[in-house]
A = this chain, B = another copy of it.
């Protein structure tokens, strides 16, 4: 028996309790991978061998392997076996988005997810903080309302209505520490209502899939085509919710077509399921007016999620959810439980920044700057010798560059790295099989 197996056995002994085996095996493997006890690159026994070893059904093992592959912990190569994922791992490395705080290793870091941090309006933000703190009563500095401060929910209700067409009164807004934190609250609320699975798009942030899986819900994977997520009934059937990026699919860049929006909201209305709209870059549309939020079509069935991470800075840890009334109590209970909401001073400052027009001004400036950088990127790539295709550029802070036929994705990324240029690949975001492609963020200036 190879060394790795012995290691695996050790930890499964601890965790398998003889009941609900599939779940326990899955949990044990996930925990071991997360904590590094199963290091990246470890080859797992075949499902047949492990099943025999543990005296359980082969399907139980195969299901656990399949789920963990969907979450990105394991990589299966057909006919060759199953490995603990080498890179990017959620366990051993910070998520791609979190890489920047350590010293940048590349001259040009074009991995997506981070806006132009040099554009953060430090002076205006501090001025807003000063005005905000001058005007509030002491009790605002107490343990905060788990929904967030009333001042900020009021300001967001107005802003979201005019900027994104979102239909929400302040009482149904829950302020959170960025969208991923908001998603964790939603997962807890959904599990409390008896949901067992969440449909996700075939490509998206692995952090989001991990939050769903860590929260005890299964992932069901929706295909994505040029009209956005495909409302596949077989996938949606068992799901209590679907996580979507309607305005600008991440990372594929397509917009969810009106017909699809209708079908999906009808599905939610008919089944009592919830659509989760991740509007991570909805303010940044270049080709025409912004695509309005899907939430406005069905405010009782769509949770709208937004963030200040793109317009201001991820470091502020400020996001928001517009929550249907029927889900509100559970989401607020989840927010109260773990106590991880944003601080009062930042909330007051953002409220003042929105109310004084500073936020709109910042979005306008950023939109112009990003559009210019997108045009530069398209021009650069267009001048390359390989005739590559650039897609998904009608909006947002990233583009998708299809790899030409003579190259694998890994070869293309390696070629970029040799030129001191860090980019991400579609495989970094795929819930299953991925076409080859480079995901290039253009928010940060190249010059």
Among residues of B, the one whose C-beta sits closest to the C-beta of A339 is: B180
Could you mark each residue 113-149 of chain A with 1 if its beta carbon is under 8 Å from any beta carbon of chain B, else 0?
Answer: 1100110101001100110011000111111111001
Could you mark each residue 83-108 of chain A with 1 if its beta carbon is under 8 Å from any beta carbon of chain B, else 0?
Answer: 00000001100110110111010000
Once the chains bind, are B339 and A177 in contact (CB under 8 Å)?
Answer: yes
Task: Please state the number of chain copies in the assembly.
Answer: 2
Given that A15-B194, A35-B330 are known contacts, is A316 also in contact with B345, CB under 8 Å in the complex? yes
Given that A31-B192, A180-B338, A210-B337 are known contacts, is A141 also in contact with B313, CB under 8 Å in the complex? yes
Could you mark each residue 1-33 of chain A with 1 if its beta carbon is under 8 Å from any beta carbon of chain B, else 0?
Answer: 000000000000011000110000000000100
A340 at the interface (CB under 8 A from B): yes
Residue in contact with A94 in the complex, picked from B101, B146, B342, B343, CB distance below 8 Å: B146
A336 at the interface (CB under 8 A from B): yes
A248 at the interface (CB under 8 A from B): no
Q: Which residues of B contact A333 (CB under 8 A)?
A: 34-35, 91
Could you tell me the distance in whole angstroms from the C-beta of A111 to the nearest C-beta in chain B? 11
Among residues of B, the one whose C-beta sits closest to the C-beta of A97 is: B143
Within 8 A of B (CB), among A332-389: 333, 336-346
The CA of A143 and the CA of B194, in the complex, are separated in Å by 32
Q: Which residues of B contact A129 (CB under 8 A)?
A: 126, 129
The CA of A82 and the CA of B41, in the complex, are separated in Å by 53
Size bin of chain A's contact surface: 35 or more
Could you mark each residue 180-197 of chain A with 1 if its beta carbon is under 8 Å from any beta carbon of chain B, else 0?
Answer: 110010000000111000
Q: Which residues of B contact A309 (CB under 8 A)?
A: 143
Could you tell me the distance in whole angstroms from the C-beta of A15 to the nearest C-beta in chain B? 6
Pull 8 A–B residue pairs with CB atoms less than 8 Å apart, ordered by A.
A34-B192, A35-B192, A35-B329, A98-B143, A117-B139, A122-B134, A126-B130, A316-B345
Interchain residue pairs A-B with the least CB separation, the first 9: A340-B340, A315-B344, A180-B339, A117-B138, A141-B313, A100-B142, A141-B315, A317-B343, A184-B338
- What residues of chain A have their CB less than 8 Å away from a CB belonging to chain B? 14-15, 19-20, 31, 34-36, 90-91, 94-95, 97-98, 100-102, 104, 113-114, 117-118, 120, 122, 125-126, 129-130, 133-134, 138-146, 149, 176-178, 180-181, 184, 192-194, 207, 210-211, 214, 309, 313-318, 329-330, 333, 336-346
